[in-house]
Amino acid sequence: MKRKKTHIDTILVLILLCVFSASVLMTLLLGTHIYSSMSDSSRLTYNERTCMSYIAEKFRHNDVKDSVYVGEFDGLNALFLDTEEKGVVYCDIIYCYDGWIWELYCERGLDFLRTDGTKVIEAKSVSFRDLGSGLFYVEATDLDGKTSKLNICLRSGG
Amino acid sequence: MRKRIDSGHGLMLFELLIAIGFFAVFATIILRLFISAQQISLQSNNLSRAIMAAENAAECVKAGTEPAVFYNEDWVPSEQNESAYRLTLETVPEEGVSTTIITVKDKADTEIFSLTVKTLQEAGA
Amino acid sequence: MNRRGIGIGSASLILIFSVLCLTVFSLLTLSMANREKELSEKLESSVENYYAADSAAVEIAAEFLANSKNGKIPSELNGAIISSNGECRFNYSCTIDDRRSIAVKFEIKDGKINILSWQETNIEEWLPNDNINVWKG
């Protein structure tokens, strides 16, 4: 009879300890879940924001009449931003290839390949469209499949 | 004669109860911190999205086209009945200049972000 | 023989470990949320400043056009100095913040304003990086 009582005491204490440990574990898991979901959300927003800000700033820095146009570069949809320096026209080409947004700054008219550019930021795809009246539409898809859209209107009319 | 409860178990039970008490207090405080951090993160995420939506609308206004006005929970343009966020455009025409005030509001009509954009009424080709 | 159970102190150990972990996670989460909030607020002020400068530049262009229709060519409007770089071609700039400004070039033709450029420019001193590998192909 004494042994049974001892066993019941032990079992009760063990059960209480297990319940306590389980609640501690659940709280820890909840905390890590909140942290990891916030971290993911923060990363996604950062990628989207940085990508769109970079493209928007490129447009704004090159808002000169007849200098911004959409075309094809090495078979890829690309944005062309022309600048003239000392009588020579240079072209800043922005395109998406192999999971990255690339930028290539070269003299206009010279032949370059898509791999000659510099990787800027990760993205699954980017498309540029000239909607007319100086309005451009940019759609970018990040590596997680999330799409973000940008409208940008040039005051100089492009 | 009843034997006293095994003193080892008694001490352990007492310690366990104290630990549970302390844990309950700490966990409440720490979970409140988590919840407030999540709310701050949600607010700043909403602000970033509202800024992007307002900018897109401002650029459409500059071009003279209609911008998207209703957005759903994920900040994707949607219909009015599915919208969680909406943009209001208030145009004030003046001499030579048209001023548009773009305001992004949530379902509760609380202003998240506001932007003013001006366009020339007379512009050359 | 009486067992002492699992061991006195195990509950305290679990308590200390869990409180430490939770405190670290919560502080990391809070600090990350605050940094995100600061970044969003910086973005907000940057966008507001840009559109404020853009609007100011539009006001100047509109006022210049109105003045030119009355035969006046102002050299300064709303604090911006307007300089001429050719017949009927003018330029001015509006400050966005301490690092950027909007440089506008336009011409007046047939009583209408024709924007030649509306560029965002950097006004901060640019320090070059001497360690860039240049493609010499």
Q: Tell me the DSSP string of chain C.
A: -----S-TTHHHHHHHHHHHHHHHHHHHHHHHHHHHHHHHHHHHHHHHHHHHHHHHHHHHHHHHHHHHHTT---SEETTEE-EE-STTEEEEEEE-SSSEEEEEEEEEETTEEEEEEEEEEE-SPPPPPTTPPPP--
A3 in B contact zone (CB under 8 Å):
no
Is residue A85 domain-resident? yes
> Which tokens hold the place of A25?
């574990």
- Residue the block writes with tokens 């309950």: B24
Q: How far apart are the first and last CA of chain C?
A: 86
Contacts of A34 in chain C (CB under 8 A): 29
Neighbours of chain C (3+ CB pairs under 8 A): A, B
The rounded mean pLDDT for chain C is 86
CB within 8 Å: C119 and A31: no
C14 in A contact zone (CB under 8 Å):
yes
pLDDT value of position B4? 52
* pLDDT confidence bin for B26, thresholds 50/70/90: very high
Residue B73 domain boundaries: 7-120
pLDDT in tens, A11-26: 888 888 899 999 999 9
pLDDT value of position B124? 42
d(CA A49, CA C46): 13
pLDDT value of position A11? 86
pLDDT (mean) for C101-121: 90
Higher pLDDT residue, C83 or B114?
A: B114
d(CA C121, CA A86): 19
d(CA A25, CA B58): 49
Higher pLDDT residue, C98 or B10?
A: C98
CB within 8 Å: A38 and C11: no
Is residue A142 domain-resident? yes
Structurally, chain B folds into a number of domains equal to: 1
Higher pLDDT residue, A74 or A10?
A: A74
The whole-angstrom distance between A117's CA and the closest CA on chain B is 28
Q: Write the residue in C6, C18, C21 that is nearest to A17 by C-beta.
A: C6
pLDDT value of position B8? 66
Is residue A72 domain-resident? yes
Is residue B1 domain-resident? no
pLDDT value of position C10? 86
Is residue A138 domain-resident? yes
d(CA A6, CA A34): 42
pLDDT value of position C34? 95
Question: Using an 8 Å Cβ cutoff, are C93 and C101 in contact?
Answer: yes
Check whether B57 has a pLDDT greater than 90: yes
Structurally, chain A folds into a number of domains equal to: 1
A39 in B contact zone (CB under 8 Å):
no
Global ipTM: 0.82
Is residue B98 domain-resident? yes
pLDDT value of position C70? 85
Residue A75 domain boundaries: 46-153
CB within 8 Å: A156 and C6: no
CB within 8 Å: B97 and C62: yes
pTM for the model stands at: 0.85
> Which tokens hold the place of B34?
């988590």
- Nearest-5° Cα angle at A105, A46 to A95: 50
